[in-house]
Chains A and B, each alone.
Chain A
Amino acid sequence: MTLLQPWILLTLPLALAPLVLYWLRRRWTERRDWAAMDILLQAYKTAAPKQKQSDVVQLILQTALILLAVVLVAQPVFYVSQQTEVPNSQTNAPAELHSVYLIVDDASTNAPAYFKAGFEQLGKDVRFDVLTPDAANPTTAQNADVLILHRVRSVPQWLAKVVENRGTERRPVWIFAPHNLDDSSRQLLKDALPPLAGEPSKTAQPYETLNPRSLLWQTPDFEPLAGKPVPFPSLINSVYESTAGWSAAFSDSSTILSRDGVWVFSSSVDGTQSAWSMSDLWVPLLDRIVTISLSAPSTSSTIEYKPGTTWLSRVLAIAGLVILVTLFWRFGRKPSRYSQRERRWGWVCFIAAGAILFIMAIQATFKPVVWVKPSILFLDDDSQSMNLPQLPGDAQTRNQAMVQWVDKNTDALEKLLQNYRLFESSFSSPDAVTEITNAADWKTTLEKRSADAPTSDPAGALAHGVETLSSQIDRQTLSAAFILSDGVTVGQPAPDSEQILVRQRQSGVNPKVFALALGQDNPIPNAAIENVKLDSVLFAGHENELEFQLRADGLQGKTVKVELTEKERRSSEPRVTGSKEIKIPSPQFVAEQSFKVVPPEPGAYEYKLQIVNRDDEFIQADNAVTRQAEAEERQIRVLLVSGSPCWEFRYLRNLLARTGMVKLSVVLQNASKEYVKEDSCALESFPTSAESLNEFDALIFINPVLDWLSAQQRDSLREYFSPELRVASSELRENSTRKAIICFWNAQTDFAPVAALDGRLIPFDVSAASAPSGKIRSAAAISPLGQTTAWLQLSSKDKFDWSTLPPLGAVVSVKQLKANVQTLLTTADNASPLLTVHDVGNVRVATVLTDSLWRWRQGAGEAIYTQFQINLVRAMVKPSADSRVEKPVEDAVVPEEWRNTSANSAALSEMCKPTGGFAFRPADSQSILDAVRPDAPRVRVVRPPVAIWNQFWLLALLLAVLLFDWSRLYLK
C-alpha cells in the first residue's frame, strides 16, 4: 500500500514548512546590547533545555498536522501493478463480438471484402459496417466492439474525438496504414492519442514501454513464425521494430504500436496487403484484434490508484483534529510568549483550521442546485436541395422559405427567448452549435448561409447537434429540437426512428423533435439523362449499344424529346444520328433507353445525348451528357503479369478488364488459388512459347518474380523484344500496333534477376554506381519532354497540375538513366525519374518507377488514374495515336441532391413521431407555439454532489491558514 498520488509529491514538501520557518527564524537574529547579562545568562541556563524540547515537540506536531492533511486529501490509495497481460484467446474467454466498424476512404476497394471475409472465417456472427469518414456515425463508432481505420486519408474532428474517447476508456482503435493520413489528420490523431514513453506527456500518468512483439506473437498461431524466415520477411522485420513513438508510427517506417487501447499498424503490416491477406496470418491477426478489443483494457502495464476506505480518511481527519487541539492548547498556555494581538490572530487561524479539518472528518459534500432555462435546438438544412423551389414553378427556394418562416415567427421566437435558451446549428456542421440571442440576428445568419452542402443527413445532424448541445448544457433540460429541412437525403440512410430513440436513450437526453417540412412532396418538373453507358472502345462498322436512363419528374402526360449527335473529333461538324420522343406516363418516370451507335471508321468520337430543352424545366444542366469513344479495328491484347496481388495489380487489372479496348490476360505468380480464381481472364502460367507470347500487343509487369520463370519462358520473353525484329517507328502506320512492355517497379524490387534476363528491360544500369535505391513518398511532376507529349495532357484545360495528385509511396530513386531513355514524369523534386520510355528492339518499354500509382485514386478520384493508365497502354502500343488519346469532356455538374426534386416530409414525420413531436408546414405558423410552451418555468437542476472534503483547494486553504499563522509567529 502506498499513499502516493501523482500530485501528492507536489504537496508533501509543504510538510517541511514549519521546519523551514523555524530555520529561517534561527537565521534572522536581532542584535541587542544588554546590561543585565549576568541575570540573563543565569536565566538561560535554567530555561533553555526545557524550551528546546518544547520547540521540537511543536515542530513535530505541526509537521505531522500538515502531513496528515495532505494524505487525507490525497486519500490513502492502494497501488495495483498490472503486468503486461495479453489476452489470450485460449485462456481468456472474450465477450461476444457484435459489431465491427470499418472506416475506409474508398469503400469500393477490396479491403472491406478481405476484412469481412476474415471476420467471417473467425466464425463470428457480427454486424459489419463499412463507411467512409463522412458517412460514419460517431455514436456507432464509439460503441463498436472493433473500430478499424483503414487507409483513411482525412480524419474529421469527430473521429479524432472518438479515438480519444476510446483511448480513455481503454477500448482499442485499430489504425491501419497511418502514413496515408494527411498532415492535419496525422496531427489530429497524434493529439488524440495518449502519449508514449519518451514523448511529451499530456498527463502525469506513467507509461511503460510496450513491446508489441510480445503482444502479437505470444499466441500459438504466431509462435512458430517468430524469428524464422517466412514468406513475408518485410512483415516480420517490421514487427520487430517498435516503440519508437507515435511520430515513428505515423511515418513510413514499419511499426506496430499500442498504447492504452489505440493500435497503429504501419504500412508494412497492413493487414490487407496482398501477402498478408492471402496468407494464413490474416485470420489469426483478426482473431487477435477481436480478442484484444473485447478484452480491453488489459494490454499495458498500468499503475492504478484506488481511493482508500472512508474510515481511514476519517481516522486521519480526527488525528489531525487531535493534533490541532494539542497545538491549540499549547498556544493558549500561560504565560504565553505571544502578544495579545498575536494570540487573537492565532485563535482565528486555529478556529479556521479546525473547521476545515472538521469538514474533512465528516467528509462533507456539496449538492449544487441551479435553476436554468430549458433549451431548444434549431437545426437548419444547408444542403443543395434547399436551393430547389419551395413550390413547383415558384421562384422562392426552400432556403428562402425557411428564412421567411423565421421572419414571420420572430415574435414567437422572441417570446420563447424569454423562457428558453435557443441554439442553432446547420446540417453540414452540426457540431458548431451557437446560441441565438435574438430572432432577427438568427434570420440574418440564415440569409447569409449558403445552401451548398452536397448532401444532408437529418438523423445524423440531429444526433450530432443534440450530443454537442447536451454536452454544452451539461446534458440537462433540452426541451425540443427543431429540424428545418426538406427531408431530402442522398447517399445517407433514411432517418430511422428507432435508431433515434435508441440514441436518445443512450445519451440520456430526450428532447421532442419537431420538423419544419419545407418544399412539396410532389416533384418539380424536370427531365434528366443519367447512367449513360457506352464502351470507351468501339469497333468501326459494327453496331454498338449506347444505353441511358431517362428520368422525368412532374412531366406526366407530356413528351420528352432526346437526340443523339455523333462527332468525329477531327471533324467539327456533329451530326444527329438518332432521335426519340418519349411520352411520360407518370409523375416520377424512369425508363431505360438506348441508341445504336455505328462509327463509320476507326477514330476518336464524341457522342452527345441531349434532351431538347423545355421551358417548364427548373434544372437544365442535367439535359445533356457527352461520352467519348475510340473506334478501333480490333482490341489491344495485353498480358498482365504480377508477382503478387498488390494494390497496383488489383486496380490496374480491374481497370483493364472493364475497358473494352483491351483483351486482358493475367498471370499472378504468387497468390493462393482461391484468389486467382476470382479472375476469369487468368492464365495458368506465363506463356512458354514465343508464338503464344507474340500474340500479345503489350506485356505489363508489376513487380514480377522473374526468377520463377522457366528457361523456356525466359527464352520466349527474350524473343519478344528481339533486336533482329527492330522496326523503325517511322515505318509504323497510323493505327498500326507494335509490341510494348510496361513495367511497374517498387523501391524494394531486386533488379538483379531482370538484369540477368536482359538488362535492356530496365532504364538504368544496375551494376553502376548510380544503382537505384528506395525512396519514400513523393509527388509526381511532368518533365519538359512530358509536357510535349499529348497523351500526358490529362485535363481539358491547358495544363494539368500534377502536384494536385496524392503523393506516391515507395518510389525507386534513380540518379542516372541509360543514354537512350526518355523521361516523361519525375518526382516532385526532379531528382529521380518516375516514368521513362525507351525502345528495345521492336518493343517500346515504359518503366513506371513505383507501384503505387493507385494512390492517385485517393482524393483525386478515379478519373485521372483511369485516364492515365489507358493513355499509357494505348500510347505504348499505338505510338501514332498520341493525338487521339482521350481528353475528358466535362459535362455540367448537377448537384447530387437535385436528382430527387421531391421533398420528403414523411421522413421528417417519422423522425418526429417517436419523440412525441411532429412535422409542420411553414403555413402552420402557430405550430411552434403549440409545440413548445412559451411560459415554461425554469428547471431546477440538482447537479451531482461534489465531495468537497478531499478537494485540493481545501487542503490549500488549510495549509494557507496554518502556514500564515506559523509564519506570522515565527517570522515576526
Chain B
Amino acid sequence: MVYLRQIESRIDQGIGRRRLGYIVLGLIILFFLWFPNDTSQSNYAKTVFISGFFYAIMSSSWALLAGIAGQFSFGHMAFMGIGAYVAGLIARDGIMFATLGIAITPESFSAIGSIIIGTLVAGLVGLVIGWLLLRLRAAYLALFTIAFSELFRIMMLTEYDYTGGSNGLSLRPLLQIADVDTARQVEYYLMFALLIVCLLVMHWVANSPIGLFLRAMREDEDAASALGVNVVRYKILIFVFTSMIVGLAGAIFYSDVGSERIIPEQLEVLQMSLIIAYAVIGGMESLIGAAAGAFISRYMLEAMREVVISLPFGLTTADGGDAFVWETGAWRFALFGVVMVFTLRYMRNGLLYPFITWFSGRDLAMKETVSKRDGDGDDIVEPMGADDE
C-alpha cells in the first residue's frame, strides 16, 4: 500500500493524473484501431467487438438519460427498435401520404436516407414520450416506459405482414462489400467510429451548462426549477436527444453492420435490463464508465460461453481429455448477476468509478478540501442542525 502511494505521489508530481488518463485512453483507442488488422483474429472476434460497440452506445446513452439526467427509463431499446424498424420499413415500402395523394417509392431512399429518417422518427417519438412523462417520476416513469416498450414490441410481433413478426425485419444493407473479411473490417471501423462520435457528442452535452442543468434536475426537480432551470424543456430535450442516438445506432447496427435483421426479441424487457446492468456495472453516472462496462460485459459473456480448465498433475477426464470443458449456458448470466449484486451492494458508482475518479483527479480536490478544513478548523462552525438528507 505504501509502495502504491509512492507511485501515486510520483505521478502527481510528474506527468499528472489527468494527462496519464488521456495517455491510457489514447492507448485503448490505438488498440481498438489496431485490432481488426491483427490477422490472427477471426471474423467472429470482430463481430463480438462490433456488438460490444453497439451495446456501449446503448449503455452510455442510457447513462446520460438515467445516470446524469435522472430519467430512469426502460424505453431505450424501444427507441432503438423504432430507428431500426422505421429505416427498414421505409427502405422496403417507401412512404405514402394517402390523404395528400403523395407516395415516395422505396427506391427514392438510399440506406443512409432511411437511417436518417429512422433516427428522426425515434427523436419524434422521444418528444411525445418525453412530454407524456413530464409529471412522472421514479417508479411511475419506469413503469410507463416498460408499458410503452412492451406495446411497441407486441405491435412489431403481431403485425407480421409488415414487420415480419418473430422472424424480424431485414434492413437495406448499408455497406455492399463482396469480400467477407474486408466487409467485417469496414463494419468494425464504422461501428467504432459511431461509438466515438456518440461519446464525444454526449460528453460535450454532459459537460455543458445543459449537463449541469440535467444533473440539477436529477438531484431535485423542484429545487432546480426554483434556481431558474426550465425543467420541462430539459426533460424533453434529453429524451429526444438520447432517443435519436439509440435510433441512429439501431438503424446502423441492423443495416447488416452488426446484425442482418431486427427481431422483436431484441426489444424485450430482459434485453433492456441488460443495458441497465452494463451501465450500472461500469458506472451509470459516467459515460465512459457505462460504455466500458457494456463492452467488457459483452466480451466476457461471449468469452465465457465455454470455459476450458486445464487439469494439473497429469489428471485426465473420464473420456481421456487433459482439460475440463464447461459449457456454461445460462450460468454465465448467473455469474453476471453475482457481479451486478456485488456492484450494487459495495460499489454503487460502478466498478470503474475508482479508476475514473483517480484519473480525473477528483479525489485530489477532496483531499485539498479536507486539508483546508484541518488548517482552518477554528473558523468552521460545526452546526447542531440535523443532517437530514
A binds B: no
Chain B residues within CB distance 8 Å of chain A: none
